[in-house]
Amino acid sequence: MVVITSYAVAVFMCFITMLCWGSWANTQKLSSKEWRFQLFYWDYAIGVLLLALVLATTMGSLGSLGRGFLTDLGQATITALGTAFLGGIIFNLANILLVAAIDIAGMAVAFPVGIGIALVQGVLLNYFKNTKGNPVLLFTGVALIVVAIVIDAMAYRKIPGEGQKNTAKGLIISVIAGISMGFFYRFVADSMAPDFAAPAPGLLTPYTAVVIFSLGLLLSNFIFVTIIMKKPFVGDPVPLKDYFSKGTPRLHMIGILGGAIWSLGMSFNIIASGVTSPAISYGLGQGATMVAAFWGVFIWKEFKNAPSGTSRMLAVMFISFIIGLGLIIFSGAN
């Protein structure tokens, strides 16, 4: 299989993760006027699994290092498979709750609370499991990214009509989503062999781990998405027949594309973690919030009606984010 050994290449792959994780939601935005989120999410989950399978049968099956995908799958223990599968279930629950929190409380509350908790908790859990990298640089970088997320929220609340939906329910859901999101990566990392080039028996290579993770995500949809279709947090129930009667090939492809984009980011992040460490990979990947902010500022023009002074806040936000990313990168460079 293809194994990354260069720190610079691994960091580049983590930047791809940021771009993917910060961009996939654009596909949901493109279809939101025609397609309820619950219906979009079925195609999203399919796209996550399809891309994982493509990478596993190509990059994960070529070369002389490690184990090929099918060989790796055949030798894996139930514990390793179950751990990666559980990671997919936990992520799916967190992702669905985060979107629900955005619907209820607004982006300005849900994102900084949910992703802020996930970022700090995820880095802490992964770092103390694998204490690789300079902790001062790592945690200072994480703190600056959290500051950038908070400033983003403050700027967003200045937009007329935004930030007015803050409710106790939305805040509670955001906290639960953030805690869940902070846990999922640790389960996937625990299912993998520490040495990707010569993986220990019973454990998974990163390619296999992402496939099993994706299966957990897709199959848990039958529980989580079915529930929120029948009893959505906001709006009317969504009949399952709408997926077939209202879904055009274009809408289905948009959802699958969204899932594939997210899955590419997840795969690259997990592959890079063998060089950078899970804590650094996860910390860089969760910088995706700022990529999403970039889309909102420069492409979707979400701040065009914001009052004066907002542009300065956005500038501070991006500066804090860039410095934070730099510190995280340098924390693992020695």
Residue-wise DSSP of 18-51: HHHHHHTHHHHHHHTTTS-HHHHHHHHHHHHHHH
**Strand, coil or helix: 17:** helix
3-state secondary structure of 204: strand
pLDDT digits (tens, 9 = 90+) for 24-77: 888 988 888 889 989 999 999 999 999 999 999 999 999 889 999 999 999 999
**Among 20, 26, 22, 28, which Cα is nearest to 288's?**
22
**How does pLDDT run across 222-280, given as a tens digit for each residue?**
999 999 999 987 789 999 999 999 999 999 999 999 999 999 999 999 999 999 999 99
Q: Where are the domains of the chain?
A: 7-138+161-286
Question: What is the per-residue pLDDT across 115-125, written as a single tens digit (0 to 9) for each?
Answer: 888 888 999 88
Angle between helix axes 249-276 and 206-230 (nearest 10 degrees) is 140
Q: Say if residue 231 is exposed, middle or buried (CB neighbours under 10 Å; 0-12, 13-18, 19+).
A: exposed
